Amino acid sequence: QVQLVESGGGMVQAGGSLRLACAASGRTFSRAAMGWFRQAPGKEREFVSTIDWSGTITLYADSVKGRFTISRDNAKNTVWLQMNSLKPEEQAVYYCAARLSIRASTNIDDYNSWGQGTQVTVSS
C-alpha cells in the first residue's frame, strides 16, 4: 500500500492557477500509476488525470485538456497537478490516488490507495 498526502489546494479567482502536490510513502510508488480525481458537493467523484509509472503516458479528462498538466518525480515520491485557467465549476475536493499497476487508468475502481483530499475553491 502507498500512503498519500495532498497539498497545494486553496482559493483562487477564476482564470487563476494552482499546483497540487501528492507526497507518497512506501517503496512501491515508483511502480504505481497515479491519478487525480475530484469531487464537488453532491456529485460523484470524477477522473481528472492519470500518469503511468514512468511519467511517459498521461491522460486527461476532456474538460481539463490543455489546461492541466500531471507530472511525477519518482526520486521524490511526488506527483503534481498543475491547474491553469481554473473555472468556478472546478471547485471541488481534489484527491490523489495510486494503483498497484504501472499502467495509467481513468477508471476510479482501478485505484487502491487514496489521499485525504485537498480543497480547491474557485471564485468567479
Give bridge partners of residue 119 from the DSSP assignment: 93
Of the candidates 98, 117, 92, the residue with the CA atom closest to the CA atom of residue 51: 98
Half-sphere exposure of 73 (CA within 13 A, CB side): 7
| pLDDT value at residue 45 | 98
| pLDDT value at residue 1 | 75
What percentage of residues in the chain have a pLDDT greater than 90?
95
pLDDT digits (tens, 9 = 90+) for 87-109: 999 999 999 999 999 999 999 99
Q: How confident is the model at residue 27 (pLDDT cuts 50, 70, 90)?
A: confident
Is 114's pLDDT higher than 90? yes
| pLDDT value at residue 2 | 86
For 16, 17, 40, 44, 49, the CA distances from 57, given in Å and listed in that order, are 26, 23, 27, 25, 11
